[in-house]
Chain A
């Protein structure tokens, strides 16, 4: 475990450095000019050239990268080229929103997906299993903006049970913010449940058919005891990695849901800053998301080892 943590903690900054270089280079080859975006097409070429100079865009690429990196590692994330607000404030604010939505969706997703997966696995090849599997697959294959629109039309426009916007007014309390997040969270749960439940189902089926479960049954353990003591723990271990993948998606990959439910998350910020070539914002958002992704992967691996004693004894590859 210590070796795993050491190796990962060394790999993280190296990977982030590589991410920042790649994003910087990729931005260079994108068409467009952020100075023109800021001033609009009706500004004169002279004004645009002047702004480019003041933003340092006329410097050589390695020089610009070195300047950015030196400032970033010293905690100066810079100012957004387009919005002229501090990047740290902008990115962390959006990230906080994304984390809140992700956490809320995750809290709904885990018990539902685990429960349905377990139920399907315990009734494999029976109607319950087939219904859960087919509905889960269908919902997983339906884009979130489709289920999102349906949820909005039914629950926001027609029934008016929930607000259409996931964005609460400034200063709103946590309960109000969560109320606004119900519909987007549900659309995400509908999308992700089938994927996680399939993993749980497969491992549940394997566990049910395993020798240790049969041995427990032969010893006279009740069905609920067998499920609780032997099946549940073994079937949730493989689901950990599936949940880790979903957690990564829920934090940074929600552009469609953020747009549809008008939620200012970090996914839409990343997209817009890439379109605008707002490099300070794009770099910071990419690095922060990269860091989060890697921390989630680390957490998944650690959890895996804690849940499965066999892995703790193995020498990491």
Chain B
């Protein structure tokens, strides 16, 4: 019998039969409450209306380029699958509200340097082992161990070092930081995607030993074809998930994935390219603002970009609404050449939006003594559309841009200390996944000692303001420092930020409800139910 479910026409009726689904039941739904960054708690579990239990959600996603390992994963597909199976201390809602999950509550000591997390009671791993503070400590010790080679190590760089995690009783974990960091809960939340809580004895090969506390159990995983997940009957939110399971299918081609969604072979896509997907027929799009972006980085230590006026001229030459339309289907938000996305709470509002101004371009280039500006822009295939738009827009004001496309492996290959193209070419485009807090962009990208400072920008005043921002315990203090940082970046333009990418999730509205987009394409299907 056919395993794809779609309406039948008379000529196919004799050959195919549809897949049957399960019966209905009503149940109460749980919901969580958001908390401010410096403290949190959640006990709320309230009915959320009728939800139909049962059914298997069929989702498409690109095949992960590497093995399924929560410690080293970095691509959206692997992250999405792991998020179905394992959970975080704190979940990050689409509006960046922190939602307690395996942490029941948290609080900061004076100065935001010591953070205490109380672990939720009654949670068990899928093999029956109770969750305790030791497993939480082991999970973070693992991420902080260089031998584990986790990308999370860079997120904790200069904030939390190995040995900084300790236990206080059976259900409390204490993080002692290297410096004050008021956004620390974000770093142990889903915002730091490798920070899922695993068993103390986790030793790799997650695809074969997928033990977690998430809403689903990983029943099978095939690196070529996809994954089969079933409901976790031991999930700590006893009413959830509503689905019986999730079938993940890997796609190497986004066009094939969209056709599968339109034909009814799939019910939803985990990762949707907003520039090509269209809502058509039963397929609808959920859209949210995001913090992902493509940075147009300019080397401030090399001619012609060593002159601030040249960098500003390029920034004024760009038609940002046009960029938004061309590469993000108009769902992005305009960037203003600083690294505070509108979604970040401390985002400054007092800096005038930079707009296209051809006269200003001429004036700035003239004051820089540049008659004819020409440069090479280096990028990898995901940034190709943006590169073409930049080339076209700058041509209109007489700036000649030569495009230099490299393969992704070449662009990000090489030594990060001396020659990798994404950090050492004169001008380049680097796609950045969404971050939960601005410091995760600012620290690595534009501080004097930033590990991914491709512009080679160095501004002691900005460094000091970021330190003060990170330590600031009140929103007023943080907003003031954010203003200083954003103004410096807007004025000096080491990085041009045309738009902040929106995020889209496409799904079939006739089959399932509760499928939501997430700024970081994160996956939480625990509240998805049949229509």
Indicate whether A and B interact: yes
Q: Is A227 an interface position by the 8 A CB rule?
A: no
Among candidates B4, B205, B225, B410, residue contacting A31 with C-beta atoms closer than 8 Å? B410
Instruction: Show 18 A/B contacts (Cβ-Cβ < 8 Å), sorted by A.
Output: A37-B65, A40-B72, A42-B74, A42-B452, A43-B151, A44-B154, A82-B65, A152-B259, A153-B259, A157-B262, A160-B263, A164-B260, A169-B247, A180-B4, A259-B253, A264-B250, A269-B224, A275-B407
Q: Is B37 an interface position by the 8 A CB rule?
A: no
User: Contact between A167 and B225 (Cβ–Cβ < 8 Å)?
Assistant: yes
Among candidates A168, A261, A268, residue contacting B3 with C-beta atoms closer than 8 Å? A168
Distance, CA A192 to CA B16, complexed state (A):
28
Among candidates A33, A38, A268, A276, residue contacting B252 with C-beta atoms closer than 8 Å? A268
Q: Which residues of B1-21 are within 8 A (CB) of A?
A: 1-4, 6-9, 11-12, 15-16
Q: Is B238 an interface position by the 8 A CB rule?
A: no
User: Contact between B67 and A85 (Cβ–Cβ < 8 Å)?
Assistant: yes
Contacts from A to B (Cβ < 8 Å): 30-33, 36-47, 50-51, 80, 82-85, 90, 93-94, 149, 152-153, 156-157, 159-161, 163-165, 167-170, 172, 176, 179-180, 258-262, 264, 268-269, 272, 275-277
B269 CB, min distance to chain A CBs, angstroms = 13
B412 surroundings in chain A (CB, below 8 A): 36, 41
Q: Is B510 an interface position by the 8 A CB rule?
A: no
Q: In the complex where A167-B249, A262-B260, A276-B409 touch, is A172 in contact with B66 (Cβ < 8 A)?
A: no
User: Contact between B256 and A94 (Cβ–Cβ < 8 Å)?
Assistant: no
Interface size on B, residues (CB 8 A): 62
Q: Is B265 an interface position by the 8 A CB rule?
A: yes
Closest 6 CB pairs of A and B: A32-B409, A31-B410, A40-B74, A84-B67, A47-B149, A163-B4
User: Contact between B66 and A160 (Cβ–Cβ < 8 Å)?
Assistant: no
| Chain B, residue nearest A169 (CB) | B3
User: Contact between B149 and A43 (Cβ–Cβ < 8 Å)?
Assistant: yes
User: Contact between B263 and A152 (Cβ–Cβ < 8 Å)?
Assistant: yes
Q: Which residues of B403-456 are within 8 A (CB) of A?
A: 406-410, 412-417, 422, 451-452
| Chain B, residue nearest A152 (CB) | B259
A41 surroundings in chain B (CB, below 8 A): 412, 422
Q: Is B146 an interface position by the 8 A CB rule?
A: yes
B416 surroundings in chain A (CB, below 8 A): 44-45
Q: At the interface, is chain B mostly helix, strand, loop or mixed?
A: loop
User: Contact between A262 and B256 (Cβ–Cβ < 8 Å)?
Assistant: yes
Q: Is B222 an interface position by the 8 A CB rule?
A: yes
Q: In the complex where A39-B72, A45-B416, A161-B12 touch, is A85 in contact with B223 (Cβ < 8 A)?
A: yes
A33 CB, min distance to chain B CBs, angstroms = 4
Q: Is B331 an interface position by the 8 A CB rule?
A: no
User: Contact between A157 and B259 (Cβ–Cβ < 8 Å)?
Assistant: yes
User: Contact between A82 and B149 (Cβ–Cβ < 8 Å)?
Assistant: no
User: Contact between A165 and B249 (Cβ–Cβ < 8 Å)?
Assistant: yes
A31 surroundings in chain B (CB, below 8 A): 406-407, 409-410, 413
B9 surroundings in chain A (CB, below 8 A): 159-161
A68 CB, min distance to chain B CBs, angstroms = 20
B147 surroundings in chain A (CB, below 8 A): 50
Q: In the complex where A42-B151, A163-B4, A262-B253 touch, is A32 in contact with B263 (Cβ < 8 A)?
A: no
User: Contact between A165 and B65 (Cβ–Cβ < 8 Å)?
Assistant: no
Q: Which residues of B350-405 are within 8 A (CB) of A?
A: none
B344 surroundings in chain A (CB, below 8 A): none
Distance, CA A172 to CA B409, complexed state (A):
36
A2 CB, min distance to chain B CBs, angstroms = 41
Q: In the complex where A82-B65, A169-B3 touch, is A163 in contact with B409 (Cβ < 8 A)?
A: no
User: Contact between B151 and A32 (Cβ–Cβ < 8 Å)?
Assistant: no
